[in-house]
Amino acid sequence: MITYLAKRILMLIPLLFGITLITFAVIHLAPGEPVDMQISMSPKVSAEARQRIREFYGLDKPLHVQYVQWLGRMARLDFGRSFAPDNRPVTDKIAERIPITLSLNIVALILEFGLALPIGILAAVRRDTLLDKGITVFVFVGFAVPTFWLALLLMYFFGVKLGWLPISGIHSLGSDRLGPAAWFLDMMKHLVLPIGVMTFGSLAGLSRYMRSSMLEVIRQDYITTARAKGLPERTVILRHALRNALLPVITFLGFSLPGLIGGSVIFETIFAIPGMGQLFYQGVMMRDYPLIMGILVIGAFLTLIGNLLADICYSIADPRIRHGRT
Amino acid sequence: MDFRSSYFYSVFWKSFRRNRFALAGGVVVAVLFAVSLLAPIITPRDPAAINAYQVLLPPSASHWMGTDELGRDVFSRVIFGTRISLYVGFVAVGIAMAIGTLVGLVSGFYGGWFDSILMRFVDIMLCFPTFFLILAMIALLEPSIWIIMLVIGVTSWMGVARLVRAEVLSIKERDYIMAARSIGASDIRIIFRHILPNAAAPMLVAATLGVGGAILTESALSFLGIGVQPPTPSWGNILTSGKDYLEFAWWLSLFPGLAILVTVLAYNLLGEGIRDALDPRLHR
């Protein structure tokens, strides 16, 4: 197990290196210089001041020197200062946004699993019945629905038409004067729609995946054996089949992470949630280069960690992976 | 299966025909093509014609899907949006297929360190939250329809590369490749004459499913204001007005979204139908 873990972690190093290289390349492929935007805001900047700013950001040096310097600063978790008017360190700006995005995603993920697994199992067990067909239709529609559109419809219906739920932000105005219980309730009301839409967004994929994984397992000989022993169908499905069918789902979880994190841009922009996605969107609109680079690297890093966790879970669940070739 | 034989088509069609969902998807896709070709004839009004006296009108007999905040006919804009969506979907998927196929072929056929490097590159690209990468690239390059197609293509080829590589790995061990080699066929000839045609079927499935994904991505980008730029109508940027006028004009939100839903659904059904018809294991 230790060797497997060590190997797996060592493999992260070239990936991390590649992530920084691609991020750097993406930013520097763009025409114009990162400081152009900052300078163009104040037309009075002279050529000399321009040069000073370029030197300040190290833009007068050759690209590979810039890359190494950037890498060195990043190793110390210093992503530079934001180009936004507040000019704060990018690390601070990201750090205060990450908890919101992560916790929303985790809650949505838990709900997604809680719903998708039973749906998938049910569809597999009742294969080709009306229920299975109904679920299949739901899955196909779920795949095709643009989530931001669904968000708009729900905002219209529950927010505008019925007036039950607030449609933007995560707190009401003046909620800081409420007691802790009321404050929490207020926040929950704000989060129902975003989390609901986020959950729905990935529900279809997972339930479909669970269904096919379950169908695959049910065909196996050991399931026939379990049935032949006269075990009740419930035990066969929930004890013998489910465990094995869950294995590929762990990998699926790892693969779906980049989509989840990336999707936060859309949800957070629509619902005005102050998370990392919204920060990134604002950064992109203002061409805040240090911020864009920082979030790209951190977003990819989170995915790496997520994949690592998924792999570790998988190897715990399936000894074949641990002991066999990786 | 070799898609060049007529036997292949008869087996394929026999199985595809029985799948009503897939047929429906195919019909809708065909209709969408017709609509986008005939857009100027079908649309009752100029999609760009502004009318200050008919702002935000609800759907009626003269404006089937109402009007937007500038008095433009939403129905006409949605119809013209079909063009943009199909266009972006096809070109973006074409780019992704081209890159993915090339990487997958080279990687699978030559193997060795070349394969390792290319596949690590794929791993790295897959680490980035795709939407973040797309946003960053578009914002730095100034949004235009060309940039969008390019960026969606450049960020979505990795799955194709893996798929093609896996196909190549299995095909290159077959006897007919050995036969081709033994009569002195060049690598290029083996790759393009013998391997690629035999890998074409799963690639077709991936491409069809990819179009739906690309259309969804384009609409999300346009919705966020960094995709297709107004006044060019796209389903995504009509929805932007839909959000701005959510409290007064539900029709601005409802119809373009339905168009996206139906289109993506049709492509997915078609793609899945093709997959099922191609996969002999699924024939019951």
pLDDT of B62 reads: 82
CA-CA-CA-CA torsion for A228, A230, A235, A239, nearest 10 degrees?
A: -40
The interface predicted TM-score (ipTM) is 0.87
- Band the pLDDT of A280: cuts 50, 70, 90: very high
- Band the pLDDT of A188: cuts 50, 70, 90: confident
Strand partners, A89: A81
Is pLDDT of A234 > 60? Answer: yes
Q: How far is B192 from chain A (nearest CA, A)?
A: 31
Output b/e per residue, A58-80; b: 16+ Cβ within 10 A.
eeeeeeeebbeebeeebeeeebb
Least confident of A22-26, B16-20, B94-98, B225-229: B16-20
Residue bearing the bigger pLDDT, B139 or A234: A234
Distance of alpha carbon A243 from alpha carbon B262, whole angstroms: 37
Is pLDDT of B244 > 60? Answer: yes
The mean pLDDT value for A32-45 works out to: 58
Q: How far is B238 from chain A (nearest CA, A)?
A: 11
pLDDT of B71 reads: 82
- A269 CB neighbours in chain B (<8 A) are 224
Q: How far is A179 from chain B (nearest CA, A)?
A: 31
Residue B139 in contact with partner chain A when CB distance is under 8 A: yes
Please answer whether residues B212 and B271 qualify as being in contact, where contact means their C-beta atoms are separated by less than 8 angstroms.
yes
The mean pLDDT value for A104-133 works out to: 91
pTM of the model: 0.88
Q: What percent of chain B has pLDDT over 90?
A: 52
Candidate from B129, B139, B268 with C-beta closest to A261? B129
Instruction: Please report the beta strands in A214-296, taking only residues with DSSP state E, as ranges in sequence order.
Output: none
Encode pLDDT of A196-217 as tens digits: 999 998 898 899 999 999 999 9
- Band the pLDDT of A326: cuts 50, 70, 90: very low
Distance of alpha carbon B117 from alpha carbon B86, whole angstroms: 34
The continuous run of DSSP H or E covering B11 comes out as helix B6-17
- Band the pLDDT of A324: cuts 50, 70, 90: low
Burial class (CB in 10 A: 0-12, 13-18, 19+), A138: middle
Mean pLDDT over each residue of chain B, to the nearest integer: 89
Residue B246 in contact with partner chain A when CB distance is under 8 A: yes
The continuous run of DSSP H or E covering A19 comes out as helix A12-29
Least confident of A14-23, A177-186, B149-158, B176-185: A177-186
Is pLDDT of A41 > 90? Answer: no
Candidate from B129, B254, B269 with C-beta closest to A303? B129
Please state, as a whole number, how many other Cβ atoms lie within 10 Å of the Cβ of residue A104. 23
Is pLDDT of A181 > 60? Answer: yes
Least confident of A303-312, B2-11, B57-66, B240-249: B2-11
Q: What Å distances lie between residue B127 and A23, A109, B104, B143, B245, CA to CA?
A: 12, 19, 18, 24, 37
Please answer whether residues A94 and A79 qualify as being in contact, where contact means their C-beta atoms are separated by less than 8 angstroms.
yes
Residue B41 in contact with partner chain A when CB distance is under 8 A: no
Strand partners, A197: none
Cβ neighbors of A38 (< 8 A, separation 6 or more) are A53, A83
Q: Do B127 and A304 touch (CB under 8 A)?
A: yes
Instruction: Read off the DSSP letter of residue A4.
Output: H
- Band the pLDDT of B234: cuts 50, 70, 90: very high
pLDDT of B98 reads: 97
The mean pLDDT value for B80-105 works out to: 95
Q: Which of A308, A305, A14 is nearest to B124 (CA)?
A: A14
Distance of alpha carbon A167 from alpha carbon A195, whole angstroms: 12
Q: What Å distances lie between residue B256 and A151, A326, B208, CA to CA?
A: 14, 47, 21
The mean pLDDT value for A37-61 works out to: 65
Distance of alpha carbon A133 from alpha carbon A122, whole angstroms: 11
Encode pLDDT of A10-32 as tens digits: 888 888 889 999 998 888 776 66
Distance of alpha carbon B203 from alpha carbon B99, whole angstroms: 13
Please answer whether residues B276 and B22 qualify as being in contact, where contact means their C-beta atoms are separated by less than 8 angstroms.
yes
The mean pLDDT value for B71-92 works out to: 92
The mean pLDDT value for A52-71 works out to: 77
Distance of alpha carbon A296 from alpha carbon A306, whole angstroms: 15
The mean pLDDT value for B92-119 works out to: 94
Q: Is the peptide bond before B231 cis (omega within 30 degrees of 0)?
A: yes
What is the rounded radius of gyration, in angstroms, for the C-alpha atoms of chain A? 24
pLDDT of B67 reads: 86
Burial class (CB in 10 A: 0-12, 13-18, 19+), A194: buried
Is pLDDT of A37 > 70? Answer: no
The mean pLDDT value for B241-253 works out to: 87
Q: What are phi and psi of B263, to 5 degrees?
A: -65, -50
Please answer whether residues A264 and A276 qualify as being in contact, where contact means their C-beta atoms are separated by less than 8 angstroms.
yes
Encode pLDDT of B186-198 as tens digits: 999 999 998 998 8
Q: Do A153 and B226 touch (CB under 8 A)?
A: no
- B133 CB neighbours in chain A (<8 A) are 26, 262, 296
| Distance from chain centroid for Cα B131 | 16
Angle between helices A147-154 and A180-218 (to 10 degrees): 140
Is pLDDT of A296 > 80? Answer: yes
Q: Residues of B numbered 87-116 whose beta carbons fall under 8 angstroms of chain A's beta carbons: which are they?
A: none
Number of H helices, E strands in chain A: 15, 0
Is pLDDT of B3 > 70? Answer: no
Candidate from A149, A160, A260 with C-beta closest to B247? A160
Q: Do A22 and B260 touch (CB under 8 A)?
A: no
Is pLDDT of A272 > 80? Answer: yes
Please answer whether residues A293 and A79 qualify as being in contact, where contact means their C-beta atoms are separated by less than 8 angstroms.
yes
Distance of alpha carbon B214 from alpha carbon B207, whole angstroms: 10
- Band the pLDDT of B63: cuts 50, 70, 90: confident
Q: What is the DSSP string of B109-157?
A: HH-HHHHHHHHHHHHHHHHS-HHHHHHHHHHHH---HHHHHHHHHHTS-
Least confident of A89-103, B15-29, B52-66: B52-66
- Residue whose entry in the numeric block shows the structure tokens 């093509």: B33
Q: Which of A240, A235, A233 is nearest to A214 (CA)?
A: A240
* Tokens describing residue B139: 């914002």
Instruction: Read off the DSSP letter of residue A236.
Output: I
pLDDT of A305 reads: 87
The mean pLDDT value for A139-162 works out to: 90
